[in-house]
Structure 1
Amino acid sequence: MKTWCLFGMKRPWKTQLPPLFLLYLLGAVRTQVNPGVCRYPLGMSGGLIQDEDISASSQWSESTAARYGRLDFEDGDGAWCPEITVEPDSLKEFLQIDLRSLHFITLVGTQGRHAGGMGNEFAQMYKIKYSRDGSRWISWRNRQGKQVIEGNRNAYDIVLKDLEPPIIARFVRFMPVIDHSMNVCMRVELYGCEWLDGLVSYNAPASQHTMLNDLQVYLNDSVYDGAVGYSMTEGLGQLTDGQSGLDDFTLSHVYNVWPGYDYVGWTNESFPNGYVEIMFEFDRTRNFTTMKVHCNNMFKWHVKTFQKVTCYFRSSESDWEPSPVSFSPVMDDVNPSARFVTVSLYNHMASAIKCQYYFSDVWMMFSEITFQSDTAMYNTTLAPPKTGPPTSTQPGDDPTHKVDDSNTRILIGCLVAIIFILVVIIVIILWRQVWQKMLEKASRRMLDDELTASLSIQSETFTYNNNNDPSSAPSEQESNSTYERIFPMGPDYQEPSRLIRKLPEFSQPTEEAASTSTATKSPPTNPSSQDGVPHYAEADIVNLQGVTGGNTYAVPALTMDLLSGKDVAVEEFPRKLLTFKEKLGEGQFGEVHLCEAEGMQDFMDADFSFDISEKQPVLVAVKMLRADANKNARNDFLKEIKIMSRLKDPNIIRLLAVCICSDPLCMITEYMENGDLNQFLSRHEPEGQIALLSNAPTVSYSNLLYMATQIASGMKYLSSLNFVHRDLATRNCLVGKNYTIKIADFGMSRNLYSGDYYRIQGRAVLPIRWMSWESILLGKFTTASDVWAFGVTLWETLTFCKEQPYSQLSDEQVIENTGEFFRDQKRQIYLPQPAMCPDPLYKLMLSCWRRNTKERPSFQEIHCILLECRV
């Protein structure tokens, strides 16, 4: 999948920021889009799209003009209405929006006109046309070729429709469609983000289809919006739709379409030169850094990544440069997984790129090609936005024009003045920050023996092998509308070069510092032991380097010693009965796959049963250790099997069977049919008016409480064994039928949640937004720190996982906030009370976040409180 859209709502900047600063931002952008995250409202409902950018074929009156066709607005007579009654099969009437630049549009919303009960006009169906240049218009079709989109059934409700495939366009037209003569009115919104790749078309040979073991596989570009004949010209399609293909291209369950759907493929028999040539056209001259090509590598079907690629560059209308860039990736005959191949383009300046991809086997299949580039500064237009009608753009017009020489000096003078003003503002801001910090330091009593507390987690505790880039996160205050953002917050984090925090001296430095180690050889020490029976599992933890990069549970050394002498209490499962469905995630030492297991019922204990028939395959998760894993990883994998085999609780994922007689080593665990709780809740809404408007499925408050109670019950069981989870969050809770919850540990291995983990010096990663202050600053992981994480998990649940915890804070600020918890000067920031959270439940959350670990409730107490709340 592609990375997130960095700037989802950039239109305000165009009118509020100085031109030079805008050029700087444009020059700094390197982006790809992720359709799952790129779902920002583009400005019809928020007013960011100006009136002059909204036009229509006609209007009933001045009060129903195009500018009133804004979603959820009641200005004028409440909507855009065409002049005449719309007739069946007539597509003459349309509402048009000019976005001023190319945008990646993933979602549309429509609404009728009710005007406070005075109107009842709406469009039951509609079509969409779009254009990138204002002259060539393209009719949108879904993945099955259908053009008509179901609209509204009344004048009140907002109906949201995903565009699959998404479109890349500057101009968009909504065209009402009816089956009988009637009056229609529309209010609309577009959702997506700015298309910063700059790609406007690609030309490629027509793709092909084949027969594989009696299976018809179509590898055509089914959503290409250009001309298709012997070749594909002047369009965009599946190579830019944001959807990466599956590892196994023969599967078709993603969109319920034909096998090979996600891929565009060619066979070497049709190309005597041994390569496929694709030409890419861009909106302007750009400085290209890399190209990423998502390739299939199922070599058993004679499909491999390209052997070599040679790319030529052209600027404007000049000839192709004589010196191309060539790159040869390493061939992989071991791992059949699809992968992105990154090709360095060495900062070549070009407005067009022509690449020749050489075959390394019979077939070559691509699902995505993306470019990372900086906009060329000299080629960016400095003129104010055009205010004329959008159709005035001609295909021959040059979007970049030269500034009049007579105004050059005035322009330069203005830019210099703007630079000077920006420098002054920056200096003032920096000075205020420095002065404020000096005052804070002066007000504190600093001792000579200042303790330097660092993130003391050993890098082997949490590891992750996925690279990410910094990005920005919108604050909660920025979103005050139901439709401000249709998808939960995209993950964000930063990567500082230093991770050291200086804090005032501890009140009891010797006791606190003594417990900073997460793995020691001395007998367990417990600061609370002087009070009687230990209340929490403290240090002296055995670290297991698991498949996912960390360990499921931090196990006390004494418990591990007791387990080491016992045999594995699970049976060997025949590998041939496993059918791989998809890869759930991967870590440093292995992968996690979703599989179907046949005959699993025969391998189960008497106290365990599936809610399915005996002959039906069981959905399971398979943790697979890589065959080349080192000896320590193999030993830890076997220890993890021993631990998991002893865990038997209704709310903990069960180990069902193993495959350890041969490589790769596998452990087979339960998997719940509704996936993880984070994704489950983000697809639902609380019961109420918002759910009615969006037609979203709902979850009641009582069911939320029921799920939270199950999480507490599972953690109560773990704490009774002195096991510490370390990564409790909704992403690690799986959902089954009837809101059944089971705690797992797959979250860290999934790219989907990479932004929930904070990287330390390129290796270790921590889920800092769920971690207690003592875990972050001291490396102490106890049942008390799991209680802290439960409080955050409960907060996630009651907010329907619509945003990250502390979304208004950067990762650095989250870490700084833990320092405030330690100093305890009443300046720490707590997560806010969710809208549907009653006061007693919020008090429970706050008790989980108490500074003193001994004052936090136990999981037994939490479970009892939640049971009382359900009564």
Structure 2
Amino acid sequence: MEVLQIRHGLLLFLLAAVRAQVNPGVCRYPLGMTGGQILDEDITASSQWSESTAARYGRLDFDDGDGDGAWCPDIVADADIGGPREFLQVDLRSLHFVTLVGTQGRHADGMGNEFAQRYRIKYSRDGSRWVAWQDRSGRKVIEGNRNAYDVVLKDLEPPIIARYIRFMPIADNSMIVCMRVELYGCEWLDGLVSYSAPAGQDMIYRGLDVHLNDSVYDGTVGLLMEQGLGQLTDGAWGRDDFLHSHVYGAWPGYDYVGWTNESFPRGHVEMTFEFDRVRNFTSMKVHCSNMFSRGVRMFRQATCHFRTSESDWESQAVSFHPPVDRVSQGARFVTVPLGDRMASAIRCRLAFNEAWMMISEVAFQSGEDPVHKVDESNTRILIGCLVAVIVILLAVIVIILWRQVWQKMLEKASRRILDDELSARLAIQTQAFSFHHSSQSSGDMSNSNSTYERIFPLCSSDYQEPSRLIRKLPEFAQSLEDLAGSSKSSTPPQACGSDGAPHYAEADIVSLQEGATGSKSYSSVTAVNMSLLSGKDRDMREFPRDKLTFKEKLGEGQFGEVHLCEAEGMQEFIKRNLPEAVNDCLNTAEGGSDTPVLVAVKTLREDANKDARNDFLKEIRIMSRLRDPNIVSLLAVCVECDLLCMITEYMENGDLNQFLSSHQLNDETQSSDKATVSYSNLISMCTQIASGMKYLSSLNLVHRDLATRNCLVGKNYTIKIADFGMSRNLYRGDYYRIQGRAVLPIRWMSWESILLGKFTMASDVWAFGVTLWEIMTLCKEQPYSQFSDEQVIENTGEFFRDQGKQVYLPRPACCPAVLYSSLMLGCWRRNAKQRPTFQEIFSQLGESQA
């Protein structure tokens, strides 16, 4: 933790020194209402109830003893009769990037009970033009406090760039309200006050409407956007694929502002940037899409003119030609050098290089204004101090890192001892502090060691020990300390790759009982060729690598990349390896054996080490033995060349999450052009998933990442379970990286998987319940969408404590009450032994379908 804090501080120091672009994830510091950095004269209000509730007392968590502990306006207008008119205004003295606000009511040591249940925010950069803040969905009202004591923090999405901020409380029935507030963010170093540009346009891509407008622009919008700021300055960069967004549920193209050259006869887009003062500009950074396969490419030339506040546009311009990239389609920042030009406004013309040009972010770097000279001796002293501070910080980091290396070496042996003992004894030790729980629940914990298994090799540097999560719950602390002191197991830890990468969703299944021996281990693989695939594996034939045509990159996984490909001559492999029941579900077109077939191809990185190759072949061994109509099948392999590949079937309608989100429930009372799906179709999908999981459970295979993103859809609503979800950037928001280590789909995981690191058939049943909830909501929202990742983990702790405070996913509108109560809630029972088996789930769904 000390190293992280020092690194964080050093990073912030260096960022401030070079005036880098703002990062919304880091820019969350209190701006001075609580700490007093914001002076009393900078806090004003439209009115006050009394002198003791003046504006200067509206500081969050601050009480100097003179006032009544908050700002209270004279009277607050009802929201239904004209909206809020009273306000508390904060002057930040300079432009700031505000990402978060906090509010609190007035309690006055028990003598008061006034608070604002709702409020609005207005902001201004110059004090004359005021803008009403609204979120990305257009909502202007912010939910505030529910009592006078608690602090309520609200993220501003989009963030605000302003000097003046006004809080405007809303009250019902003319009730008295009081507020204490705090602002969080950082200084806006760009100094950009507004940008003007042509309004973004719409694209039609393969029948899909792609809206490339600046949806959060706070100026006037017509044919031109003027006098405002928006998505180009919100600190969020667009993805490589402009059809996908970082914002959950946003429309295609949301992160970008784009234009087509058909609308600009002169072949360029002109943008004007206004700043707060004359600055010495060194460069401009423009984040561009370069997906030329879809007709989008970064600009061909940038020509910039400059203007100071006292003059017209200068005739001498700066011109820059970025290098042409015809290989990589990834989005990137293009740095345009501005040659240390002095200006308070910049006008740049960006020339088209393709049919479309798309931009998601623009940032400027500027040096100090040379008019303000600094004494050279003071400058040398300042530089010397900065260098000394950096050297000291680096020395401290080296010392701490060296200490950690030695600590890891000393702890390695004890960790090996602790590993096997932890799974066997944790539940037994739990009884010492959970005596108040029911005997049935305690019995479940005490007997769990016979079925639970670890999810990651212990030596993986990326693995987050479950005990670190458990220690967040106070009940666990003493138990684990006692356990660590008494563990003496001598069983060595499981081996792992030298790169320390954790195995997760890519078919790295925790156990496979083979034959009558019940063996759970895999033989060591030491070389890469077909001879390593023995027994049943030899039936998996080699496919000619040159008959694969790569069409689209689906994502990146632990081993390498996942691609959508066309395979020529694949029919004979299908007939040889798959039963007829499976053949009917494939996406093969009618025709001869030469008809190309769409397949998914996993490739191993060429620079992968021996352990990664062994793991890749281990996955082939497992996948080659799976034969079920509702499990994605392995069709062929390429292992005789350097680029190892495994070829699996790919369903023509893509993954279930994207498929359902583009549909709506078939309702005769509604009419829409959107594709529809019936309730019986949904039940059929759930039944097929249960059938596939029933097959896996019969082999004692644990999936560990069951979700709609990991189910593929074929003809006639055929469903097959896969494992591509984690490798796709589209679903990066579904996974949570614990302290920068283990990547986990916590919104689908059972409480014992998150807190204890235990994955079993019962934890797959829990995930099935969440998957069933996704299907019944047609994947229109993420599970626990109202919770942050940290709140999801806190809710997991409530499941462990079992005091009736845990929050369940609500019943979807189209889900019958009996299905929700008997099946969905049954999958989420705290006691893993009380959850239904997949055989029982399959039978129950079959009855409801009938």
Q: TM-score, normalised by structure 1?
A: 0.51
* 1:745-764 deviation per Cα after TM superposition (whole angstroms, max 9, x unaligned): xxxxxxxxxxxxxxxxxxxx
Would the aligned equivalents of 2:541 and 2:637 in 1 still touch at CA under 8 Å?
Answer: no
2:183 to 168, 184, 190: 190
**Shift, 1:128, TM fit:** 0.7
Give the conservation status (yes or no) of the 8 Å contact 2:550–2:563.
no
Distance 2:9 2:70 in 1: 24
2:40 aligned residue: 51
Alignment partner of 2:69 out of 66, 78, 81: 78
Task: Report the residue type matching 1:312 in the other structure.
Answer: H
Query: 1:566 pairs with 523, 532, 536, which one?
Result: 532
Q: Do structure 1's residue 131 and structure 2's residue 161 form an aligned pair? A: no
Indicate conservation of the 8 Å contact 1:5/1:32, yes or no. Answer: no
Letter in 1 for 2:28: R
Secondary structure of the residue aligned to 1:269 is: helix
Where do residues 559-638 of structure 1 align in structure 2 (5 Å cutoff)? 559-561=524-526, 565-567=531-533
Change (3 A) 1:246 1:431: closer
Residue 103 of structure 1, CA deviation: 1.1
What letter corresponds to residue 53 of structure 2 in structure 1? T
Whichever residue aligns with residue 259 of structure 2, its letter is: W
> Is 1:210 aligned to 2:203, yes or no?
yes
| CA offsets 1:22-51 (integer angstroms, 9 cap, x no match) | xx9999332112222222222222333222
Q: Deviations over 1:401-428 (max 9, x none)?
A: xxxxxxxxxx97xx96x77987998999
Matches within 5 A, 1:382-461: none
Task: Please report how far the alpha carbon of residue 291 of structure 1 lies from its aligned counterpart in structure 2 after TM superposition.
Answer: 2.2
Which residue of structure 1 aligns with residue 26 of structure 2? 37
SS at match of 1:378: coil
Q: 1:723-752 CA distances to partner (integer Å, 9 max, x unpaired)? A: xxxxxxxxxxx9983999xxxxxxxxxxxx
The equivalent of 2:616 in structure 1 is 641
8 Å Cα contact 1:657/1:669 also seen in 2: no
Deviations along 1:170-204, one digit per CA (max 9) or x if unpaired, are 11000112343221111111122221122111111
Cα distance in 1, alignment partners of residues 525 and 90 from structure 2: 64
Deviation of 1:214 (Å) = 3.2
Distance 2:387 2:502 in 1: 48
Residue 161 (structure 2) pairs with residue 172 (structure 1): no
Residue 861 of structure 1 aligns with which residue? Answer: none
Root-mean-square deviation (Å): 6.1
Question: 1:227 and 2:257 equivalent?
Answer: no
> Is 2:767 aligned against 1:737?
yes
Post-superposition CA distance 1:516-567 (Å, at most 9, x none): xxxxxxxxxxxxxxxxx9957999x87799999xxx9xxxxx9442775412
1:59–1:66 contact (8 Å) kept in structure 2: yes
Q: Which residue of 2 aligns with 1:678?
A: 737
Task: State the partner residue of 1:707.
Answer: 754
2:526 aligned partner, one-letter code? D
CA distance in structure 1 between the partners assigned to 2:289 and 2:52 by the alignment: 55
Q: How does 1:63-74 map to 2 (within 5 A)?
A: 63-74=52-63
Counterpart position of 2:51: 62
SS of equivalent residue, structure 1 residue 306: coil
Within a 5 Å distance, the mapping from 1:791-810 to structure 2 comes to none
Equivalent residue, structure 1, for 2:843 = none
- Does the CA contact (< 8 Å) of 2:238 and 2:245 recur in 1? no
- Aligned residue among 264, 269, 291 for 2:262: 269
Structure 1 pair 559–82 and aligned structure 2 pair: CA distance change class (3 A): same
Shift of 1:642: 1.1
Instruction: Say whether residues 1:102 and 2:77 are aligned partners.
Output: no
CA contact (8 A) 1:704 1:797 kept: no
Secondary structure of 2:56's match? helix
Task: After TM superposition, give the deviation of residue 296 of structure 1 in Å.
Answer: 2.1
Counterpart of 1:360 in structure 2 is: 353
Looking at structure 2, the residues matched to 430 and 210 of structure 1 have their Cα atoms a distance apart, in angstroms, of: 49
> Once the 2 structures are TM-superposed, how far is the Cα of residue 371 of structure 1 from its aligned partner?
1.9
**Which string of whole-angstrom CA distances, capped at 9 and with x for unpartnered residues, describes residues 585-640 of structure 1?**
8x9x9657999xxxxxx99x99xxxxxxx99xxxxxx99659xx76x569997555
For the residue of structure 1 that corresponds to 2:166, the secondary structure is: strand
Closer, same or farther: CA 58–359 of 1 in aligned 2, 3 Å? same
Q: Tell me the equivalent position of 2:337.
A: 344
Q: 1:299 to 1:52 in 2, by over 3 A?
A: same
Residue type of the partner of 1:678?
A: R
Task: Indicate if the aligned counterparts of 1:126 and 1:174 stay in contact, CA closer than 8 A.
Answer: yes
Q: Which residue of 2 aligns with 1:826?
A: none
Residue 301, structure 1, aligned to residue 294, structure 2? yes
Checking the alignment, whether the CA contact within 8 Å between 2:533 and 2:621 is kept in structure 1 is: no
- Please give the per-residue CA displacement for 1:135-183, whole angstroms capped at 9, x wherever unaligned: 2211112222222222223323322222111110111000112343221
Question: Does 2:230 align with 1:200?
Answer: no
Contact conserved, 1:98 with 1:172, CA < 8 A, in 2? yes
CA distance in 2, matches of 1:176, 1:435: 50
Counterpart position of 1:317: 310
- Which secondary structure does the structure 1 equivalent of 2:247 belong to? coil
Q: How big is each residue's C-alpha offset from its partner over 1:41-77, in whole Å with a ceiling of 9 and x where there is no partner?
A: 2222233322222111111112111121122334421
Match of 1:297, SS state, is coil
Distance 1:108 1:91 in 2: 18
Q: Is the 8 A contact 2:93 2:163 kept in 1?
A: yes
Identity %: 51
Aligned partners of 2:644 and 2:201: how far apart in 1?
36
Unmatched tracts of structure 2, length 5 or more: 400-405, 407-489, 509-522, 566-573, 579-584, 587-599, 624-630, 648-721, 771-788, 795-850
- Give the drift of 1:799: 14
* Distance (whole Å) between structure 1 residues aligned to residue 96 and residue 129 of structure 2: 16
Q: Which residue identity is paired with 1:142?
A: D
**TM-score (norm. length: structure 2):** 0.52
**Higher RCO structure, 1 or 2 (CA under 8 Å, sep 6+):** 1
Asked if structure 2 preserves the Cα contact closer than 8 Å seen for 1:112 and 1:187, the reply is yes
Query: 1:238-249 maps to which residues of 2 (within 5 A)?
Result: 238-249=231-242
Q: Is structure 2 residue 278 aligned with structure 1 residue 278?
A: no
SS in 1 for 2:120: strand
Q: Distance in 2 between matches of 1:283 and 1:425?
A: 30
Distance 1:74 1:571 in 2: 76
Evaluate the alpha carbon distance shift between residue 576 and residue 225 of structure 1 in structure 2; reply closer, same or farther with a 3 A threshold.
farther
The SS at the match of 1:280 is: strand
The superposition leaves residues 272-306 of structure 1 with CA deviations (integer Å, 9 ceiling, x where unpaired) of 11100111122233333332222223334322221
- Name which of structure 1's ranges 636-645 and 564-573 shifts more when overlaid on structure 2: 564-573
SS in 1 for 2:757: helix
Q: Which amino acid aligns with 2:52?
A: S
SS of alignment partner, residue 561 of structure 1: coil
**Equivalents in 2 of 1:638, 1:423: separation in Å?**
51
How far residue 372 of structure 1 moved from its aligned partner, in angstroms, is 2.6
Map of 1:713-724 to 2, 5 A cutoff? none
**Contact 1:545–1:633 (CA under 8 A) maintained in structure 2:** no
Count how many residue pairs are aligned between Structure 1 and Structure 2.
Answer: 549
* Distance in 2 (alpha carbons) for counterparts of 1:345 and 1:221: 25
Paired with 2:622 and 2:139, the residues of 1 have a C-alpha distance of 50
Distance 2:353 2:391 in 1: 59
Change (3 A) 1:218 1:101: same
Equivalent residue, structure 2, for 1:468:
none
| Separation (CA, whole Å) in 2 of partners of 1:576 and 1:641 | 22
Correspondence for 1:530: none
Structure 1 residues 343 and 46: CA distance shift in structure 2, 3 A: same
